[in-house]
Amino acid sequence: MEIRRGTTPTICIELPLEIEPENIAAAYVTMNQDGNELEKQLSDLTITDNFLSFDMTQEETLAFNSLITGWIQVRLKMADGTSLASQKEPLKFLPVMKEDVI
């Protein structure tokens, strides 16, 4: 996944078909890059069909470095108490020329 720094992207993550979104009791999407971490919880997420989505602010995207690979992972807790975690997926933060919030 690639994210341009200094922008306000909507991040969409596809869930496996066997996960019934109405049974998600808790959700965490964590982005990490060399100790810099951004976490979105269920209240920050929109669930449509089998997709989790959330918006990032300019400040959030600018907090990550374009020279270092980051990682993203989803963790879910289902209504029946089952906990699930995705694989860690690499994130690439693309540079911008103006490094400030506009």
Nearest Cα to 4, choosing from 64, 46, 79, 87? 64
Supply the pTM of this predicted model: 0.92
What pLDDT was estimated at residue 17? 84
∠ CA 42-47-52, rounded to 5°? 80
- What CATH number is given to the structural domain containing 57? 2.60.40
Is 62 a domain residue?
yes
pLDDT tens for the chain, residues 1 to 102: 999 999 999 999 999 989 999 999 999 999 999 999 999 999 999 999 899 999 999 999 999 999 999 999 999 999 999 999 999 999 999 999 998 999
Is 30 a domain residue?
yes
Is 99 a domain residue?
no
In total, how many domains does the chain have? 1
Domain of residue 59, residue span: 2-92
Give one DSSP letter per residue of 20-80, joined into a string. -GGGEEEEEEEEEETTEEEEEEGGG-EEETTEEEEE--HHHHHTS-TTS-EEEEEEEEETT
